[in-house]
Amino acid sequence: MSEPENNKKPRRSIKNLPPERFQPKVLFIWLAIFVAVVGLLVWSPGVTSGPAKFSIQDVVEKAEAGEVTKGVIRSDTTIAPNGVIITGELEKRSLKSSNGADTNSFVASGRLSEGNLDRLQKSKKFSEQPSQTLLSSILVQVVPFILIIGLLYFLFVRQLKQAGRGALSFGKSRAKLLTRDRDKITFADVAGCDEAKEEVSEVVEFLKDSKKFTKMGGKIPRGILMVGAPGTGKTLLAKAVAGEADVPFFSISGSDFVEMFVGVGASRVRDMFEQGRKSAPCLIFIDEIDAVGRQRGAGVGGGNDEREQTLNSLLVEMDGFDTTEGVIIIAATNRPDVLDSALLRPGRFDRQVYVDLPDMIGREQILRVHAKKINLADAVDLAVIARGTPGLSGAELANLLNEAALLAARRNKKKVEMIDVDDAREKVQFGRERRRLMDDEEKKLTAYHEAGHALIQGVLDDGALPVHKVTIIPRGRSLGSTMFIPKKDLLTHAMKRMLNQIAMGLGGRIAEELVLGDISSGAAGDIKQVTKIARHMVCDWGMSPLGPVAYGDNSDTVFLGREITRSENVSEETARKIDVEIHRIISEQYTRATQIITEHRSALDKIAEALLEHETIEGKHVIEIIQFGEMRSPVITAIVVKAEEKTSERKITDKPVVSDVISPGGSTAPTPA
């Protein structure tokens, strides 16, 4: 497919360049300096001794006397019709040259008669060279200047031309045309967003056959705004629309419009729409449109003039854009709250397509798409991986499989196995294992801290979020981790489950206090997390005696341009009541968790002892200790060294991967949305 005609840049000459970019005076000054230097080097009299000047008769006499050791006769018609130049050397004698220096070389010029020529030839000291014509002498003197001028052209003039061409194209659009044959993407390459694909399928049909809609009097949306979290596949979906419709796809980022000079962004917007009209039917995709589409007049001192003019130009072009021309504008952003309201009105970005995080079925579909490029073992169950990775976007799932492939390659495996995926997921979410040297006191503190979390979750769990693994091996900033695996995607947060999560989060601190008689800073992340959950319960979810009222937080929106002053959503009395309720919820769960740990003190000790012995135990071991008082399942050895391969790898187990949020204090717990 050939590029649009407007992409062909017109030829420009130096004389058309702006005067501030091309200054011929500077070039001529440098050229004059260069010529002067060359002239001084070539024609200036040297400081060394030059030849002594003789007459033709003197040379003949000295040749007959045997004083000449060697000589050269060279014809030169520029002196006379039969003129010659004779150069040579005398015997080791001291002569005075023209500049007064001692020399034994000589030069003579003038007419040479036949008799004198015979006398020189008889001395057998002279040789003849071909004659030098006027043309050859001119070439010898002119060719070096031609080479010098050519060199100056390539060094200076070509760069000035390129600079001028860049200056004249400064206001041109930087949209890139996707090569359809090489980079073609279809809906088969996009998974996990079936609803979004249905929304944009109308665009594909319109681009293929626009008359089908215009005959009915319908109008396709002029612009489609894709909204979603980072990595959910907004750009990929836009490319799939172009691939399905088999039309040109222009891609540009919102930051490509914003420049330091006012008016450049607006010029690029106009040029981009002009390209679209010439290549219709086509798609124009603007990624991260919030870079140029933010609310106008934002901030105390006003907004950015260049960005606002660019936005105004975009609004005008879209308002006057005729959809019958077959050009669709698709934009993507993960910050729809900061966009200007004029962009979202009907007639511009009429339709908003929300590309959400994939559910369990969508994650499995995404994994199957990316697994085509990975050499997976037959035992790898993508459905199990999808169930254990809630909240991960498509890009994160692709990164998970890539990390698994890298781990398998480092372990010298031929295929990626389930244990590689499990380790890759833990590495991505929690960080790499760090075999940090800890003394017995720190190990005991960490073991009881994690045992407190695991014990309370094992006792209070309703089956939706069981314990998957407990470890005292440091990962990231955490000295230990308690991991959970959800049985399904948790879309809502029940009050009982949130209270259980608060009690579980406090279990580590309570275990430290009851067993060791002291508390540490390891519960810092747990305290922040339980406070966040309690605040959500009181202020957002209405799970307190204050009633179903959304109190929210104090908001500062100066830089969004909505308000200049700070807005207070609650009074001081209500804020005091909110603090009291948050403190009450946490205190009640602290007492509840203390009672549970006290009643199951023996189980707490056995879980901690198992952690000190094995470093990592599974969730089933925690349940066995709570129910039977001992572990009845064998603990899989963490590291197995194969001497023949000289590699270390973990034993393969058919374990599901999990997803949870790690806290800096050393424990993990799900975070409410």
Active-site residues, by number, are 450
**What is the rounded end-to-end Cα distance, in angstroms, of the chain?**
47
Cα–Cα distance for residue pair 452/3, rounded to 1 Å: 66
The span from the CA of 25 to the CA of 266, in Å, is 35
Helix (H) or strand (E) holding 503: helix 495-516
Inter-helix orientation angle 619-628/601-614, to 10°: 140
Instruction: Give me the sign of the Cα torsion angle 204, 210, 213, 214.
Output: positive
Q: Residues 237, 203: contact at Cβ < 8 Å?
A: no
Residue 246: closest CA among 204, 188, 275, 284: 204
Largest CA distance in the chain: 137
Neighbours of 278 (CB within 10 A): 14
User: How far, in Å, CA of 158 to CA of 160, rounded?
Assistant: 5
- CA–CA separation, 36 and 270 (whole Å): 51
C-beta of residue 238 within 8 angstroms of C-beta of residue 330: yes
Length of the chain counted residue by residue: 673
Distance CA 563, CA 552 (A): 17
Residue 602 burial (10 A CB sphere; 0-12, 13-18, 19+): exposed
**672 in Cβ contact with 498 (< 8 Å):** yes
* Alpha helix stretches (DSSP H) within 253-371: 264-278, 305-319, 360-371
Q: Amino acid identity, residue 550?
A: A
- Calpha distance 536→312 (Å, rounded): 40
Nearest Cα neighbor of 257 from 249, 266, 248 is 266
374/369 Cα distance (integer angstroms): 10
Cβ neighbours for 553, distance < 8 A, ≥ 6 positions apart: 539, 569
